[in-house]
Structure 1
Amino acid sequence: MAKPVRRIVTGHRADGRSVIVFDGAAPNVHVVPGTPGLAGTVVWVADKTPADIVQQEETAPGDRKLAIEPPAGGNVLRIAEFPPDNLYSRDELEKFRAGIGSPEAFDTKARHFFFHKTHTLDYAIVLEGEIWALLDEGETLMRPGDILIQRGTNHAWSNRSDRISRVAFVLIDAEHQ
Structure 2
Amino acid sequence: MSSSTATPLPDLRRVVTAHNEQGVSVIQSDTTFPMETTPVPGVKVAGSWITTETPSKDNNLSASEDGTSRTLEGHKLTQPNGTTLRYTDLAPGAITPMHRTPSIDFNILVQGEIILILKDGSETHLKVPGEAVVQKGTLHAWKNPGTTWARMGSVLVDAEPAVVNGESLGLKWELPEGFKLPPKAE
| Interval of TM-score (by shorter of Structure 1 and Structure 2) | 0.7 to 0.9
Q: What residue is the counterpart of 1:71 in the other structure? A: 79
Q: 1:48 & 1:34 partners in 2: Cα distance?
A: 30
Aligned residue number for residue 96 of structure 1: none
- Over the matched positions of the two proteins, sequence identity in percent amounts to 31
Shift of residue 113 of structure 1? 5.6
| Residue matched to 2:167 | none
- Tell me the residue number matched to 1:116: 99
Q: Where does residue 158 of structure 2 map in the other structure?
A: 173
Deviation at 1:15, TM superposition (A): 2.5
Which one of 25, 47, 50 corresponds to residue 55 of structure 2? 50
**Alpha-carbon contact 1:41-1:78 (below 8 Å) kept:** yes
> Quick one: distance in 2 between partners of 1:169 and 1:69?
11
Shift of 1:69: 2.2
Higher helix share: 1
2:141 & 2:40 partners in 1: Cα distance?
20
2:78 matched to 1:80? no
Matched, 1:158 2:143: yes
1:145 aligns with 2:130: yes
Change (3 A) 1:18 1:130: same
User: Does structure 1 retain, via aligned residues, the 8 Å contact 2:92–2:144?
Assistant: yes
- Which one-letter code corresponds to 2:123 in the other structure? E
- Structure 2: 5+ residue stretches without partners: 1-5, 164-186
Aligned twin of 1:25 = 32
**Larger % of strand: which?**
2
Q: List per-residue Cα deviations over 1:71-110 (Å, max 9, x = no partner).
A: 110001111101123xx5xxxxxxxxxxxxxxxxxxxxxx
Query: Could you list the per-position Cα deviations for residues 98-148 of structure 1 after superposition, in whole angstroms to 9, with x for gaps in the alignment?
Result: xxxxxxxxxxxxxx7621011010001000000000112311100221100
Flag structure 1 segments of 5+ consecutive residues without an equivalent.
89-111
Partner SS for 1:14: coil
**Residue in 2 aligned with 1:11?**
18
> Which amino acid is the alignment partner of residue 139 of structure 1?
E
